[in-house]
Amino acid sequence: MPDPFYITTPIYYVNDVPHIGHAYTTIAADVMARYRRLTGNDTFFLTGLDEHGQKVQQAAIKAGIDPQTYCDRVTPQFRNLWEKLHISHDGFIRTTDARHKAVVQRALQNLSNKDLIYRAEYTGWYCTFDERFWTEKDVQNGLCPDCKRPVEQLSESNYFFRMSRFQDRLKEHIQQHKDFLRPETRRNEVLGFLQKPLEDLSISRPKSRLSWGIELPFDSDYVTYVWFDALVNYISALEYLPSVPAFERYWPASIHLVGKDILTTHAVYWSTILMGLELPLPRTIFAHGWWTVDGEKMSKSRGNVVDPYVMVEEFGADAFRYFLLREIPFGQDGDFAREPFIGRINSDLANGLGNLLSRTLTLIHRFSNGRVPEPQDSTTTGLETELKRTAESLIREKLPHHLHSGRLEFNRALESIWGLVQLGNQYIDKTAPWVLAKQPDQKPRLDTVLYHSAETLRCLCISIYAFMPTTAEEIKQQLGLTLNFTKPILEGEFNWGGLLPDTQVTKGQPIFPRIEATTKSQGKNQPSPDHLGSSPSYQSQATASSQMKPEPTQRPGNTPGSDDSITIQEFEKIQLKAGKVLSAERVPKSEKLVKLQVDLGREQRQIVAGIGKKYKPEDLVGQTVVVVTNLKPAKLMGIESQGMVLAAGDEEVKSLATFLEEVDPGTKVK
Ligand code: ME8
């Protein structure tokens, strides 16, 4: 029996309505929960709302109602959205639940009994928005280092948790548990943060200043600091939300999924609180990246907040789920824009998956009376072997690899699934069943082709289920499959050949109708390099890296003296130098592009290179590479590139060109 799997999202503040950021984390958690249930894990998926604290109190005052009424009013906005997005949470916690409050008070009492809580006078800079104190050295120009809002000086008596005591243990834990903080960059960030002495954590707020919170069990003049209250939800929920208390069963959590904004509160506050409570730490805290909208930070004042309700209404839940997870590697920041979204719907969903389903079912209706024919083994070819191999490796190797808790490579998983979609469509193109149907002696071959096309769809149906549950159900219905997604998939169903011959298929409506492009957006983007055969109207900007280079011309037999030869003088026009990579970071929204700062001896240049699929930024730093230094500067995805690095490979980068010996930056290459 696989291990229990407990996954959580942050509990969202109710001072605002849900937006794309909240939807993103929750969809990602849902994909993992569905995937783990399908593969047999006893799964508990928790989400909920953070209802205490200053922000909520202020929002209630603004609305002219008491905080509890305010919370009760906002809660359905989240609950209904999760329903519309087909979020399959097992528990929904609200921090105003009486039973949650009791667990918070017990935790505080427990720490106090161990002398891990003390009272002290504290003077510091306070940020109302972030609800936290900052020290003199943190504050820059009177602004909060986190949210950049003005801070105010406060002198207050408060209760403190002895967080500093756990600094060394925490460092050690992070160092010893590779998957504890993910991705790697975030792990390094926290380790960097822990280089400085860790201060104790103020865990109370005087009621005179803030009354909307959980009263401290040992001092009724105070309420609990909202972050202490909120973090405890991950354990309190297990006590009362499952039908029977399930702390022993599910703790420690398998994954706390959070945005990068709240990494420290989870990695440092929560971990040390758990140490104080003598409880095991979660196995993984995964901090994903940040969505901007049309290149800008989302905010009410800018009026650019993406409303997930509108997206679902306009494009459907599954398309929205697909886009958010396909477009951007999960740990990285991304930009949301309508055009790339529509582009993906048309290319990947309508032309890719939708087309494969529709043509397969049409062919089965036309040439096999609407029933899946029996494959004739004697007629199978290399194409069929490739389909089988690709489908089995997708389900058995690629999905488990990419969806491993320490990786969460949703985009890669979807890329692999769409590799099979593409292969399925190519298979039909190449085997041309409509031609086979005209030759009676090709009937056995035709049957084999129809069976393999339908079986490809069955494997796709299983693979997409976690990402696009409604689409998977629809494909299941149309193909007449017996799969039951409410239970773990049976071992045998993972194998090629699970589709029973003679199954009746039913062609339905197109699962993803094409979306017409608006004139304004048309032609803004180039065709996507990884589109799926038919020409999409739009291209995702995140895969626009192909625009950097013209189509490579293949000249295998280029001989000296042929028309294409150049003279040595011509060659010398190209200035090549050794450059040392000083820093590297991914270009947001792009899978391929990496922005490098390169030392060229007398100067430093910024170069945008299409090598991000092959190399991680951290692998590039310190490498000495070959740079074309007299190339006209060009802008790639809006970022200036002042040169080009050389690499071997055609469409795919195989290897960067480097040097056998150490050479100084700026050395001429000839
Ligand atoms: O921080 N891009 O709640 P919150 C990506 N109550 N994700 C985003 C996002 C964006 N632009 N905006 C929000 C809180 N998120 C606390 C949490 S947990 C014990 C307490 C997502 O309503 C992301 O997951 O401000 C981020 O961490 C979370 O919403 C913050 O939600």
Count of other CB atoms within 10 angstroms of residue 570: 9
DSSP, residue by residue, 491-502: GGGGSTT-SPTT
User: Tokens representing 298?
Assistant: 């989302």
Quote the number of domains for the chain. Answer: 3
Please indicate whether residue 270, judged by its CB atom, sits closer than 6 Å to ligand 1. Answer: no
- In DSSP terms, 50 is beta-bridged to 13
236 and 128 part of one domain: yes
Q: Is 258 in the pocket of ligand 1 (CB under 6 A)?
A: yes
Q: Is 448 in the pocket of ligand 1 (CB under 6 A)?
A: no
Closest ligand 1 atom, CA of 12?
Answer: 22
pLDDT at residue 201, rounded to an integer: 95
| Owning domain of residue 427 | 338-494
Tokens 């999202």 locate to: 9
Cβ of residue 469 lying under 6 Å from some atom of ligand 1:
no
Do both 538 and 452 map to the same domain? Answer: no
Q: Does residue 51 sit within a domain?
A: yes
What percentage of the chain exceeds 90 in pLDDT?
Answer: 73
Are 640 and 646 in contact by the 8 Å Cβ rule? The answer is no
Residue 551 has pLDDT above 60, yes or no: no
- Whose alpha carbon is nearest atom 26 of ligand 1? 259
- What pLDDT does 520 receive? 34
Closest ligand 1 atom to residue 291 Cα is 2
* pLDDT interval class at 1 (50, 70, 90): low
What is the whole-number distance in angstroms between the Cα of residue 21 and the centre of ligand 1? 7
- Together in a domain, 281 and 361: no
| Any ligand 1 atom below 6 A from CB of 227 | no
Torsion of CA 255, 261, 263, 264, to 10 degrees: -160
Q: What percent of the chain has pLDDT over 70?
A: 92
Q: Whose CA is nearest to atom 24 of ligand 1?
A: 259
Domain harbouring 395, CATH code: 1.10.730.10
For the cut 60, the answer to whether the pLDDT of residue 72 exceeds it is yes
Domain boundary among 229, 257, 288: 288
Distances (CA, A) of 323 to 77, 206, 419: 22, 45, 16
Nearest to 590 by CA among 318, 290, 328, 305: 328
Verify whether ligand 1 is closer than 6 Å to residue 412 (CB atom).
no
Structural domain includes residue 655: yes
| Ligand 1 within 6 A of CB of 352 | no
Name the residue of 7, 14, 25 to mutate for ligand 1: max ligand atoms within 8 A of Cβ: 25
Residue 303 has pLDDT above 60, yes or no: yes
Is a pLDDT exceeding 50 seen at residue 545? no
Q: Which amino acid is at 391?
A: A
Ligand 1, residue 230: give the atom nearest the CA.
19
Same domain, 162 and 39: yes
Give CA–CA dist 539/529, Å, rounded: 8
530, with CB counted inside 10 A (0-12, 13-18, 19+), is middle
- Nearest residue (by CA) to ligand 1, atom 19, is 231
Say whether pLDDT at 574 is over 60.
Answer: yes
Selected residue with higher pLDDT from 126 and 117:
117
**What is the pLDDT confidence band of residue 170, given thresholds at 50, 70 and 90?**
very high
pLDDT at position 569, please?
66
Position 75 in a domain: yes
Which DSSP string corresponds to 308-349? HHHHHHHH-HHHHHHHHHHHS-TTS-EEE-HHHHHHHIIIII
Does residue 257 fall inside a structural domain?
yes
Determine, yes or no, domain membership for 204: yes
CA of 360 to the centre of ligand 1 (A): 42
Top mean-pLDDT range of 261-275, 536-550, 601-615, 643-657: 261-275
Residue nearest to atom 4 of ligand 1 (CA): 12
Lowest mean pLDDT across 327-331, 584-588, 657-661: 657-661
Residue 539 in this model has a pLDDT that exceeds 60: no
Q: pLDDT of 15-42, one tens digit each?
A: 988 999 999 999 999 999 999 999 999 9
> Using CA of residue 198, residue 203, residue 208, residue 209, what is the dihedral sign?
positive
- Residue 544 domain-assigned? yes
- Residue 259 CB less than 6 A away from ligand 1: yes
The answer to whether the peptide bond before residue 556 is cis (omega within 30 degrees of 0) is: no
CA of 666 to the centre of ligand 1 (A): 45
For residue 441, CA distances in Å to 190, 380, 435, 523, 551 come to 68, 15, 12, 47, 43
Q: How far is the CA of 50 from the centre of ligand 1 (A)?
A: 11
User: What's residue 527's pLDDT?
Assistant: 29
- Amino acid 567: pLDDT: 66
Assign residue 41 the CATH number of its domain: 3.40.50.620
Same domain, 38 and 149: yes
Q: Is the pLDDT of residue 559 over 70?
A: no
Do both 639 and 587 map to the same domain?
yes
11 in contact with ligand 1, CB cutoff 6 A: yes
Cα-trace Rg, the chain: 28
Tell me, yes or no, whether 578 and 633 share the same domain: yes
Cα(10) to ligand 1 centroid in Å equals 6
On whether both 112 and 17 belong to a single domain, the answer is: yes
Q: Are residues 382 and 460 in the same domain?
A: yes
Given a cut of 90, is residue 519 above it in pLDDT?
no
- pLDDT, tens digit, 9 for 90 and up, residues 442-493: 999 999 999 999 999 999 999 999 999 999 999 999 999 999 999 998 878 8
Band (pLDDT 50/70/90 cuts) for residue 518 is low
pLDDT higher than 90, residue 549: no
- DSSP type of residue 378: G
Q: Give residue 109's pLDDT.
A: 98
Give the pLDDT confidence score for residue 129 in this predicted structure.
Answer: 81
Pocket test for ligand 1, best of 8, 11, 12 (most atoms within 8 A of CB): 12
Provide the CATH number for the domain around residue 541: 2.40.50.140
Tokens at 341, concatenated:
């979204």
Distance 341 CA to ligand 1 centre (A): 22
CA angle 457-460-463, nearest 5°? 160
Q: Whole-angstrom Cα distance, residue 630 to residue 644?
A: 9
Quick one: pLDDT band at residue 146, thresholds 50, 70, 90? confident
Is the shortest distance between the CB of 285 and ligand 1 below 6 Å? Answer: no
Task: Say whether 598 sits in a helix, a strand or coil.
Answer: strand
Q: What is the pTM of this model?
A: 0.78
Q: Which residue CA neighbors atom 10 of ligand 1 most closely?
A: 21
Which of 288, 317, 346 lies at the terminal end of a domain, its last residue?
288
The three-state secondary structure class of 239 is helix
532 shares a domain with 449: no
Q: What is the mean pLDDT of residues 420-446?
A: 97
159 beta partners: 119
* Residues 346 and 272 both lie in one domain: no
Amino acid at 275: M
User: Does residue 162 sit within a domain?
Assistant: yes
Mutate to test the pocket of ligand 1, among 24, 266, 271 (most ligand atoms within 8 A of CB): 24
Q: Clarify whether residues 456 and 592 are in a common domain.
A: no
pLDDT higher for 638 or 243?
243
124, part of any domain: yes
- What value does the mean pLDDT of the chain take? 89
Q: How far is CA 136 from CA 132, 144, 286, 478, 497, in A?
A: 13, 11, 31, 65, 67
The reply to whether ligand 1 has any atom less than 6 angstroms from the CB of 231 is yes
